[in-house]
Structure 1
């Protein structure tokens, strides 16, 4: 078994995001938001998510967008609950821990916790 290493490249972000969304699509709690409600076009969504997480980990300005507005609009179609955010975060943490270990891996989990908390606060009643 190969020792885990830290997130250091765009390819690492791509691996992390791709494997995460594979888990999400299979998840019984939140998968339907992506497949049935948002009807995500993965060919465009995944590259956007690569840029989003690269911006966070590598502190660059690669991502341009407002994910909060998209989630507020999605919540109007199908109300989100605190359990949905907990599931999202749990899947993210598990995925990161499965693939990586190090300062950037810890940082990307911490930022995901902040994002989930803020999204839950802004989106749910």
Structure 2
């Protein structure tokens, strides 16, 4: 196991995670069928997002919450979806990394998943 400490490590983490996501029966359809993700664009954004979150590099520009609202209007993004996202994320971290940044990546992802689940649920009630 190695420490999560560089952009290259984030790229490994994100790539490994999304390999799981697209195969997943609970959330994979969001990426393949609903959004039809352009991976050449999406992955670099995710590298920058996590680089900003974990290392303070400020390489990410965007509003992840705003991106998810239109998806939520097409297909409800429910708490169980975010729980599965979180499960796969934690699993990927634990398979590849150890240390403080790996722990922080889990903590931050829990906060993100909980906030996103809450916001998506509230948006559906409006």
TM-score scaled by length of structure 1: 0.96
| Unpaired runs of at least 5, structure 2 | none
Of residues 100, 121, 124, the one that matches 2:121 is: 124
Q: Could you list the per-position Cα deviations for residues 2-33 of structure 1 after superposition, in whole angstroms to 9, with x for gaps in the alignment?
A: xx111111100000000000000000000000
Give every structure 1 segment of 4 or more consecutive aligned residues whose post-TM-superposition deviation is greater than 2 Å.
Answer: none
Between the aligned partners of 1:54 and 1:106, the Cα distance in structure 2 is: 15
Secondary structure of 1:53's partner? helix
Could you say what the CA RMSD is over the residues aligned between the two structures, in angstroms?
Answer: 0.6
Between the aligned partners of 1:59 and 1:9, the Cα distance in structure 2 is: 12
Structure 2 match to 1:114: 111
Q: How many residues align?
A: 122
Secondary structure of 1:79's partner? coil
| Unpaired runs of at least 5, structure 1 | none
Alignment pair present for 1:96 and 2:93 = yes
Q: Could you list the per-position Cα deviations for residues 54-101 of structure 1 after superposition, in whole angstroms to 9, with x for gaps in the alignment?
A: 001111210000010111111001111111000000000000000000
Secondary structure of 2:2's partner? coil
Alignment pair present for 1:60 and 2:57 = yes
Alignment pair present for 1:33 and 2:30 = yes
Structure 2 match to 1:51: 48
Structure 2 match to 1:7: 4
1:45: Cα distance to partner?
A: 0.2
TM-score scaled by length of structure 2: 0.95
